[in-house]
């Protein structure tokens, strides 16, 4: 988050509404939406949708999401325990066009956040191990049948912590065992494979992960 904001000269310690906050509902002169149906909209990509400092803005954000049911929204959070704060009255069992992703960097985070994720009224649930900072066992959560996708990736930027390929492969095997799609997103800057540690430039981290060819989308 801090690295990506820094690239654009932003101070990540300052909590504020972005200039594009209302982009999902902004319209052109002809009355059509500026943001057309295309792919997935990632809410608060470099922040966290459930930040306490953003509580006052969240009802408006939910209203935009509810209005744009023609778009797919993905909300990534490490604050899953705050999910119910400001939840829309008509949420029910969840909006079908919203996916909630819980990030779990290690086993402690997984055991604390994933039971919460599974207990929530959500239609689509993903697990994201980014940055992945240790081995994780998530079979007990995958066997619920409620997790639709799992992704893993290392940490980027200055001072990046180690990510091991063995950890990645272990999660992949767990996903295969329970029929959950798996994606290896990026290696991160400091990556260990076959006992060797590699420093990988940012521009190659996604490509090197793809080159590994271990994603399981479509694998029977």
Which is higher by pLDDT, 23 or 174?
174
Average pLDDT, the chain: 90
Per-residue model confidence as pLDDT tens digits over 112-122: 999 999 999 99
Give the pLDDT confidence score for residue 2 in this predicted structure.
43
Report how far apart, in Å, the C-alpha atoms of 93 and of each of 16, 76, 120, 126, 145 are: 30, 18, 8, 16, 16
- C-alpha–C-alpha distance, residues 202 and 188, integer Å: 7
Residue 212 near residue 200 (C-beta atoms within 8 A): no
The predicted structure's pLDDT at residue 13 = 60
Predicted confidence band at 219 (pLDDT cuts at 50, 70, 90)? Answer: low
pLDDT of residue 109: 98
Asked if the model's pLDDT at residue 4 lies above 50, the reply is no
Query: Per-residue b/e over 148-178, b at no fewer than 16 CB within 10 Å?
Result: ebbbbbbbbeeebebbbbebbebbbebbeee
Which of 3 and 193 is assigned the larger pLDDT? Answer: 193
**153 vs 138: CA distance, rounded Å:** 16
pLDDT at 20: 76
Does residue 121 contact residue 91 with C-beta atoms inside 8 Å?
Answer: yes
Convert the pLDDT of each residue in 129-175 to its tens digit: 999 999 999 999 999 999 999 999 999 998 999 999 999 999 999 99
**Is 11 or 217 the better-scoring residue by pLDDT?**
217
Please tell me the number of Cα atoms within 13 Å of 204 on its side-chain side.
Answer: 9
The DSSP element (H or E) to which 207 belongs, if any, is: helix 202-212
Does the pLDDT of residue 5 top 50, yes or no?
no
Domains and CATH numbers, the chain: 2-212 (3.80.30)
Q: What pLDDT is attached to residue 114? A: 98
* pLDDT grade for 35, boundaries at 50, 70 and 90: confident
Task: Report d(CA 141, CA 109) in Å as an integer.
Answer: 13
φ and ψ at residue 186, rounded to 5 degrees: -160, 155
| 199-217: burial string, b at 16+ Cβ within 10 Å, e else | ebeeeebeebbeeeebbbe
Q: What is the pLDDT of residue 40?
A: 85
The DSSP result for 97-142, as a single string, is TEEEEEE-SSHHHHHHHHHHHHHS--SEEEEEE-S--S----HHHH
Out of 10-24, 34-48, 89-103, the most confident range is 89-103
Task: Place 62 in a pLDDT band, splitting at 50, 70 and 90.
Answer: very high
């Amino acid at each position: 988050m801090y690295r990506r904001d820094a690239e654009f000269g932003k101070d990540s310690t300052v909590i504020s509404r972005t200039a594009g906050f209302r982009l999902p509902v902004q319209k052109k002169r002809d009355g059509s939406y500026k943001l057309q149906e295309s792919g997935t909209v990632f809410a608060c990509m470099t922040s966290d949708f459930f930040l306490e400092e953003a509580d006052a803005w969240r009802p408006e954000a939910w209203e935009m999401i509810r209005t744009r049911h023609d778009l797919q929204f993905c909300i990534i959070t490490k604050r899953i325990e705050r999910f119910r704060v400001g939840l829309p009255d008509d949420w029910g069992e969840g909006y079908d066009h919203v996916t909630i992703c819980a990030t779990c960097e290690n086993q402690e985070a997984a055991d604390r956040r994933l039971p919460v994720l599974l207990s929530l009224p959500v239609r689509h649930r993903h697990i994201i191990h980014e940055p992945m900072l240790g081995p994780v066992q998530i079979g007990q959560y995958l066997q619920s049948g409620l997790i639709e996708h799992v992704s893993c990736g290392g940490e980027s930027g200055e001072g990046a912590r180690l990510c091991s390929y063995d950890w990645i492969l272990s999660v992949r095997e767990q996903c295969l065992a329970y029929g959950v799609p798996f994606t290896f997103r990026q290696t991160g800057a400091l990556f260990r494979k076959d006992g060797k540690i590699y420093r990988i430039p940012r521009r190659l981290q996604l490509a090197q992960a793809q080159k590994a060819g271990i994603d399981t989308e479509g694998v029977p």
